[in-house]
Amino acid sequence: MPRRYQTPGTNLSWSTLAEWLNCAQRLEARSPSLHKNNSCQRHVEELPLILIKSCSQPDILLSTRELLRTGPPDFCQPPRGGRQRARIPD
């Protein structure tokens, strides 16, 4: 049985990159709040790199890359000068 991951402070869980992306979309659809912002940040921090490496669906990989590079501010990499803590390299 695949390992389940969970976003801290939420009831969202996933075991594949596609499920992680679906959870990210559900988080983004929530009403603006500090809790939403923190949950989005934690969701990105909890993304295991092994899920990216094991994904064989090009559309999911491209969608995830787009979200993390240029998506909504709660998910995309910080602007230049603030990328020291960014987890996904260019």
pLDDT per residue, tens digit, the chain (90 aa), is 789 999 999 999 999 999 999 999 999 999 999 999 999 989 998 999 999 999 999 999 999 999 998 888 888 766 666 556 555 443
Output the pLDDT for position 11. 95
As a three-state string, the secondary structure of the chain is CCCCEECCCCCCEECCHHHHHHHHHHHHCCCCCHHHHHHHHHHHHCCCHHHHHHCCCHHHHHHHHHHHHHCCCCCCCCCCCCCCCCCCCC
Output the pLDDT for position 89. 43
Instruction: Please give the structure tokens belonging to residue 90.
Output: 């260019």
Answer whether 0.75 is exceeded by the pTM: yes
Rounded CA separation 21/66 (Å): 11
Output the pLDDT for position 82. 56
